[in-house]
């Protein structure tokens, strides 16, 4: 009973934990049963006593067993405080010290509803650009019938449409059991962390990256490392250095119209990245939420270049607005299965409503045309924005916009401090400074799609005033 199967790659203490949890779940160990003494367990498993102590400590902290003075370690008789892997350290999510609120963001959020404020901070299209659809009226009974089409991986008709779109856009064949519907791309990321990584593991991301500010990594005990970028994307030499020095377990990136820089990784760089990830056997997560907002042809997705090496994330938040909160993970079957189990364990089931809405929108005969119209409108806004931006070109460096919703402005002069950025709040010009995405304080992310002909002029006038003040500081 107390022995481990050979050739498992997980650490021994975890194998011991998993075995004891299995014994409790299948009834081999009953509530109140006493486990053998630590020394005995160490003998049985043929490991150091410290390994057994480590496993038991973890089981105590997860609530599966209790240590009782005088009677050793016993199986917990109730479910209170019991958790299992995957798990989140909720306590650390709620402690102020581990996630201090960003003062700039707090002030900015108060201004979001101010009618005088120009909001180029929010990461969404303005309401009037989000394609409009008419939804068929469902009776309650019809909706309940749709509910029957839910599988543990999601609403089947939606999974199928996503498979078709992936085939059309990325020329890869995926079947429904390789697609897991999630509540947005962020939940997809959260599930991946829970299933693929352990507390203490390291992940490489782009520097700057929107992931830098997400608390889910710190909460799961995951260390983030940023990889410098150049015009072609994440630098492969820098990434390799990190892999060697920080024992990176996973690479996560947003290769197309990146948040916050708006830049797109070149095809050559994508191939080099795949080659490196093969060399070190590292999986890649590609977060492709903007790839349908392209003005011209874009390089093939990483998934298309190396199907088994890459986990692909998509979302409808960027084209339909974040209230719809529908995203998906495309990966190999085994991983999708494990992610789905983790999702069920955490009770992250998604109601059929937003899935039916997403399915209706994606299969609407006008969808393709709406999508084309949207891209044309974005391209016009981008061109007008870049033309108007020439008035600040002496102070700010920026690149052409090829798609997506962001453009990145880098200050050309003296070093800026965090306090310098307060001027933007005073002027009610809401942008996202680089320190939200990195240690950098010299740049800002602007969501250009939110500017119309009228507000564009207002934006650049304000930016000129602010730039003058910044130069004086
Ligand atoms: C690159 C990127 N990935 C994922 C997300 C989150 O997407 P969702 O709203 O689907 O959770 C965002 C949202 O800002 C994003 O910019």
Reduce the secondary structure of 365-390 to three states and give it as a string. Answer: CCHHHHHHHHHHHHHHHHHHHHHHHH
Ligand 1 atom with the shortest distance to the CA of 258: 1
- The pLDDT, as a whole number, for residue 136 is 75
Q: Do strands 284-287 and 223-230 pair parallel, antiparallel, or not at all (unpaired)?
A: unpaired
Q: Is the peptide bond before 384 cis (omega within 30 degrees of 0)?
A: no
Q: Is the CB of 259 under 6 A from ligand 1?
A: yes
Q: Is the CB of 256 under 6 A from ligand 1?
A: no
**Whose C-alpha lies nearest to ligand 1, atom 14?**
123
- The pLDDT, as a whole number, for residue 86 is 44
- The pLDDT, as a whole number, for residue 124 is 92
**Domain 136-363 CATH assignment equals 3.30.1540.20:** no
Q: Is the CB of 123 under 6 A from ligand 1?
A: yes
DSSP, collapsed to helix, strand or coil, labels residue 304 as: helix
Say which CATH topology domain 12-75 has. Arc Repressor Mutant, subunit A (1.10.10)
| Secondary-structure breakdown of the chain: helix, strand, coil percentages, each rounded to the nearest 5 | 45, 15, 40
Ligand 1 atom with the shortest distance to the CA of 187: 11
What is the residue whose two structure tokens read 């910044």? Answer: 470
Instruction: Quote the ligand 1 centre to 187 CA distance (angstroms).
Output: 9
**Domain 103-128+368-472 CATH assignment equals 3.40.50.720:** no
- The pLDDT, as a whole number, for residue 96 is 45
Mutate to test the pocket of ligand 1, among 215, 253, 318 (most ligand atoms within 8 A of CB): 318
**Alpha carbons 116 and 128: distance in angstroms, whole number:** 19
Q: Is the CB of 206 under 6 A from ligand 1?
A: no
Ligand 1 atom with the shortest distance to the CA of 184: 10
- The pLDDT, as a whole number, for residue 79 is 53
**Alpha carbons 331 and 180: distance in angstroms, whole number:** 8
Q: Is the CB of 83 under 6 A from ligand 1?
A: no
**Whose C-alpha lies nearest to ligand 1, atom 7?**
185
Mutate to test the pocket of ligand 1, among 209, 259, 325 (most ligand atoms within 8 A of CB): 259
Mutate to test the pocket of ligand 1, among 317, 327, 350 (most ligand atoms within 8 A of CB): 317
Q: Is the CB of 205 under 6 A from ligand 1?
A: no
Q: Is the CB of 185 under 6 A from ligand 1?
A: yes
Instruction: Quote the ligand 1 centre to 216 CA distance (angstroms).
Output: 13
Q: Is the CB of 210 under 6 A from ligand 1?
A: yes
Q: Is the CB of 327 under 6 A from ligand 1?
A: yes
Instruction: Quote the ligand 1 centre to 43 CA distance (angstroms).
Output: 50
Helical axes 453-472 vs 367-388, angle rounded to 10°: 40
Instruction: Quote the ligand 1 centre to 407 CA distance (angstroms).
Output: 16
What does the angle CA 422 – CA 426 – CA 430 come to, to the nearest 5 degrees? Answer: 75
Q: Is the CB of 322 under 6 A from ligand 1?
A: yes
Nearest to 161 by CA among 421, 395, 356, 451: 356
102 contacts: CB under 8 Å, gap ≥ 6: 213, 436
pLDDT along the chain (473 residues), means of 10: 81 89 84 90 92 88 80 76 48 52 90 94 92 80 90 96 92 93 94 90 94 85 92 97 93 97 98 96 95 94 94 91 88 94 83 90 90 95 97 97 97 94 96 94 97 92 96 86
**Alpha carbons 293 and 257: distance in angstroms, whole number:** 9
Ligand 1 atom with the shortest distance to the CA of 123: 14
What is the residue whose two structure tokens read 């692909």? Answer: 312
Ligand 1 atom with the shortest distance to the CA of 327: 10
**Whose C-alpha lies nearest to ligand 1, atom 13?**
123
Phi and psi at residue 227, to the nearest 5°? -110, 125
**Whose C-alpha lies nearest to ligand 1, atom 4?**
185
Q: Do strands 118-119 and 429-430 pair parallel, antiparallel, or not at all (unpaired)?
A: parallel
- The pLDDT, as a whole number, for residue 412 is 97
Domain segments of the chain: what residues?
Answer: 12-75, 103-128+368-472, 136-363
Mutate to test the pocket of ligand 1, among 184, 190, 215, 256 (most ligand atoms within 8 A of CB): 184
Q: Is the CB of 254 under 6 A from ligand 1?
A: yes
Q: Is the CB of 186 under 6 A from ligand 1?
A: yes
CA dihedral angle for residue 405, residue 411, residue 412, residue 417, rounded to 10 degrees: -160
Burial status of residue 92 (CB atoms within 10 A of its CB: 0-12, 13-18, 19 or more): middle
- The pLDDT, as a whole number, for residue 85 is 47
């Amino acid at each position: 009973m107390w022995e481990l199967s050979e050739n498992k790659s997980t650490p021994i203490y975890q194998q011991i934990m998993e075995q004891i949890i299995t014994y409790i779940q299948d009834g081999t160990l009953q509530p109140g049963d006493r486990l053998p003494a630590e020394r005995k367990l160490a003998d049985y498993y043929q490991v150091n006593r410290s390994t057994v102590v480590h496993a038991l400590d973890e089981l105590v902290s997860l609530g599966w067993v209790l240590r009782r003075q005088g009677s050793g370690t016993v199986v917990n008789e109730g479910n209170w405080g019991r958790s299992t892997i995957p798990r989140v350290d909720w306590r650390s999510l709620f402690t102020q010290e581990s996630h201090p609120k960003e003062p700039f963001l707090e002030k900015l959020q108060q201004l979001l509803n101010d009618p005088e404020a120009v909001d180029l901070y929010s990461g969404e299209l303005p309401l009037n650009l989000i394609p409009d659809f008419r939804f068929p009226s469902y009776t309650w009974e019809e909706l309940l019938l749709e509910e029957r089409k839910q599988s543990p991986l999601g609403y089947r008709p939606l999974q199928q449409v996503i498979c078709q779109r992936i085939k059309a856009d990325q020329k890869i064949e995926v079947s429904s059991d390789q697609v897991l519907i999630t509540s947005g791309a962020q939940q997809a990321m959260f599930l991946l962390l829970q299933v693929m990584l352990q507390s203490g593991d390291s992940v490489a991301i782009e520097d700057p990256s929107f992931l830098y500010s997400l608390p889910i990594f710190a909460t799961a005990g995951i260390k983030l490392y940023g990889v410098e970028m150049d015009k072609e994307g994440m630098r492969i030499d820098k990434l390799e250095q990190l892999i060697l020095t920080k024992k990176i377990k996973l690479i996560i990136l947003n290769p197309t119209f990146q948040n916050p820089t708006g830049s797109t990784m070149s095809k050559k760089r994508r191939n080099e990245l795949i080659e490196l990830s093969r060399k070190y056997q590292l999986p890649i997560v590609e977060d492709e939420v903007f790839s349908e907002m392209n003005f011209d042809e874009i390089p093939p997705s990483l998934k298309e270049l190396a199907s088994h090496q890459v986990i692909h994330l998509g979302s409808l938040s960027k084209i339909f607005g974040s209230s719809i909160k529908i995203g998906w993970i495309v990966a190999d079957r085994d991983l999708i299965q494990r992610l789905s189990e983790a999702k069920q364990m955490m009770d992250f089931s998604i109601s059929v409503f937003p899935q039916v809405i997403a399915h209706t929108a994606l299969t609407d005969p006008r969808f393709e045309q709406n999508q084309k119209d949207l891209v044309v409108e974005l391209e016009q806004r981008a061109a007008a924005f870049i033309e108007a931006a020439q008035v600040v070109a002496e102070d700010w460096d920026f690149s052409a916009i090829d798609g997506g919703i962001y453009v990145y402005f880098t200050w050309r002069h003296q070093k800026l401090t965090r306090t310098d950025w307060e001027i933007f709040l005073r002027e009610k010009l809401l942008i996202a400074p680089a320190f939200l995405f990195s240690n950098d304080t010299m740049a800002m992310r602007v969501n250009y799609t939110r500017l119309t002909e009228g507000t564009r002029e207002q934006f650049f006038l304000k930016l000129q005033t602010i730039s003058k003040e910044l130069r004086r500081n």
